[in-house]
Amino acid sequence: MNGSMEQTSQVQVINEIIEKRRSTFTSQFEPGKVIPDEIIYQLLFNANQAPNHKLTEPWRFTVFSGNGLQKLADQQAAIYKAHAGTKFKQGRYDSLLITPMLCSHVIAIGMKRHADIPEMEEIAAVACAVQNIYLTATAYGIGGYWSTGGITFYEQAKSLFNLEADDKLMGFFNLGYARVPSAVRTPGAVEEKIMWVRE
């Protein structure tokens, strides 16, 4: 009986966490409130549990906090300015300098490539790891969001995160305590996205 009740409780908890998961943006963060490093470690420990084909564990994380946030801001703004060419926008440059400073921590998300594994499978594995970050942050009451903006698709950025030519930078996870909660999200009906085949 106790085992059944415990299982029911666990199911309720995970269902509630998944339902409450939201992206929380820097404008919603509480300025200056820092997440303890041990919680960040737990987020990444849980990310490391994600499923992955042939156990390649392709995810790589570079964590910026404290003065490291300024280093990230300066480096990514410099890369953008040097390589944006005619697509350079002053507003985007300014945002690259400002956004990290609004966060408690920023995690750069990389994917190490393994030649014998289809790329799609390794991208999917990293995405699963990021979902574990999202869900763990939700459980801790922490806000955050995964962004593929900024310098994500600049080849010149890879070396900042110990990524090689065949690897991918898959964006940044910005974290902070939410001052303003995200709006309730109501997905479209799941029934519209399911096809049952019973025979």
Backbone angles phi, psi at 75, to 5 degrees: -65, -45
What percentage of the chain exceeds 70 in pLDDT?
99
- Note whether 172 and 108 are within 8 A (CB): yes
Residue 1 has pLDDT above 60, yes or no: no
The answer to whether residues 129 and 50 touch, using CB atoms and an 8 Å cutoff, is yes
Q: Are 173 and 144 in contact (CB under 8 A)?
A: yes
pLDDT at position 181: 84
The mean of the pLDDT values for the chain is 95
**Domains of the chain from N-terminus onward:** 24-178 (3.40.109.10)
Mean pLDDT of 148-165: 96
Tell me the pLDDT tens digit for each residue of 3-56. Answer: 777 888 999 999 999 999 999 999 999 999 999 999 999 999 999 999 999 999
> Around Cβ 135, how many Cβ atoms within 10 Å?
18
pLDDT (mean) for 79-98: 97
pLDDT value at residue 82 = 97
| DSSP H or E segment with residue 2 | helix 2-20
Name the nearest CA neighbour of 169 among 136, 199, 147. Answer: 147
Q: What is the DSSP letter of 184?
A: P
Alpha-carbon distance of 23 to 20, in angstroms, equals: 10
Do 87 and 169 form a contact (C-beta atoms < 8 A)?
A: no
Half-sphere exposure of 196 (CA within 13 A, CB side): 4
pTM above 0.75, yes or no: yes
Pairwise CA distance, residues 169 & 60, whole Å: 9
The predicted pLDDT at position 6 comes to 80
- pLDDT given at position 16: 94
Q: What token pair was written down for 166? A: 């065949």
pLDDT at position 180, please? Answer: 85
Check: CB of residue 43 under 8 Å from CB of residue 174: no
Mean pLDDT, residues 100-110: 98
pLDDT for the residue numbered 73 = 98
